Structure 1
Amino acid sequence: MNPVSLLFFIVEAYNTIGHIFVLSRIRLLPRKDIVRLRNYFIFEVGSLVCTSFLVLQKFHWLVCIHGLQHIYYFTFWEKTGSNKKVLSWSSIDWIYSKYNSKYEWNLIFGSSLDLGIHVIFTYLLIQNIIKIEAILGTLICLTMVYFVFFSNRYAWSNPHKPPAWVSKRVQPVELYWDEQ
């Protein structure tokens, strides 16, 4: 039994699935709800730091790059145009905006890099646990995903068919950045 690796496996698998949902536009939040998730960025970095430095003892450089990116977003939350653009792009609001028709390759690349890091660490962590722990961890993770991303209690929704109460939370995306 390796309970520490199991715990971080669950967290990293959950982060992986969440990033897949946002990147693929399967489940999104209204922008006003994303803005309230500022502390999640620090939690996500903390999880990777603990995994890299305490559990796996490798890929410190990758975690440092990831950490710098997330610390930037945390520090300048809602203060810079680029930060506001990332928050908007990650929301249901973007889907209903005039900007949705244009691919934002820099945001897609950045989110894909973020996703890739979580995939790598999920894979490395599953190597540290036995099969029964992997099965248990996967079931716990999927249960968490179900109760957060598919619950009527939270605003995570299919961006193309959000419930009426979520649609009321969606607002037009303002131009926070230089469009050039």
Structure 2
Amino acid sequence: MVQLQLLPVGALLMFAVEFYHTLAHFMILSGMRMLPRKDLIRIRYYFLVDTVSVMTSTLLTGRFVWLACIQVIQHLFYFFTWEQSYMAKRIVDWSSLDWFKTEGAGRPVVSRMLSQLDSFCGTLFDMLVHMCMMYALGRAYLDVTGVLVAVLLAQAALYVVVFNPKFAWSHPNSMPGWVQRRIGALALRYD
């Protein structure tokens, strides 16, 4: 009988979670999959889930503590000021299909990135933190098989959440009609 040790299984699950976050942030950065603003403002608790995953990975590995501290501060700021502070409204607007369809309409991805460099850099930083956590977890606890299993788990989670046709996650250029009807006004003016 195969005995599973708790720590390697936990590391495998955390690697999968970190990979999921990495891919989700990449999809937002690239505009591959986004949510309408009205749906995005309802997932404020994602910032807590995101930061708990980094804290857990840091506790498991003891690596990249300073990066984790910066990421935790960043995410707690957005969580506590969600839809209240200028910066939180900017990140919500920029991450939404609404921004892409109004402010980013017709712009190439690079132009979209540069128009809100702070939002782009903050999201890129977050993605890189998750990649560092994956590296630390994989190096400390996982072999090739463990990494492959974790990648498959993350992919399955992406298909269940981000590519689920019942959810509003869409590509800006191919939104179903019901998602297009959810597009509305941005919180801030960008003219």
Category of TM-score, reference length = shorter chain: over 0.9
Q: Where do 5+ consecutive residues of structure 2 fail to align?
A: none
RMSD: 1.6
1:12 is aligned to 2:18? yes
Match of 1:159 in 2: 172
- Asked whether the 8 Å contact 2:51–2:71 carries over to 1, the reply is yes
- Given candidates 38, 53, 59, the residue that maps to 2:44 is 38
- Report deviation, 1:99: 5.7
Partner of 2:80: 75
Q: Find out whether 1:89 has 2:94 as its counterpart.
A: yes
Aligned to 2:66: 61
Q: Distance in 2 between matches of 1:131 and 1:164?
A: 42
TM-score, with normalisation over the residues of structure 2? 0.87
Partner of 2:182: 169
Match runs of 1:107-146 below 5 Å: 107-127=119-139, 128-146=141-159
Identity of aligned residues (%): 32
Deviation, structure 1 residue 131: 2.0
Task: Give, in angstroms, the shift of residue 28 of structure 1.
Answer: 0.2
Say if 2:89 and 2:187, in contact at 8 Å, map to a contact too.
Answer: no
Runs of 4+ in 1 over 2 A off after TM superposition: 98-102
Which structure 1 residue ranges, 5 or more long, are not aligned? Answer: none
Distance change (3 Å), C-alpha of 1:92 and 1:70:
same
Do 2:63 and 2:136's aligned partners in 1 also have CA atoms closer than 8 Å?
no
SS of residue matched to 2:45: helix
Task: Sort the Cα spacing of 1:98 and 1:47 in 2 relative to 1 into closer, same or farther, 3 A.
Answer: closer
TM-score, reference length from structure 1: 0.92
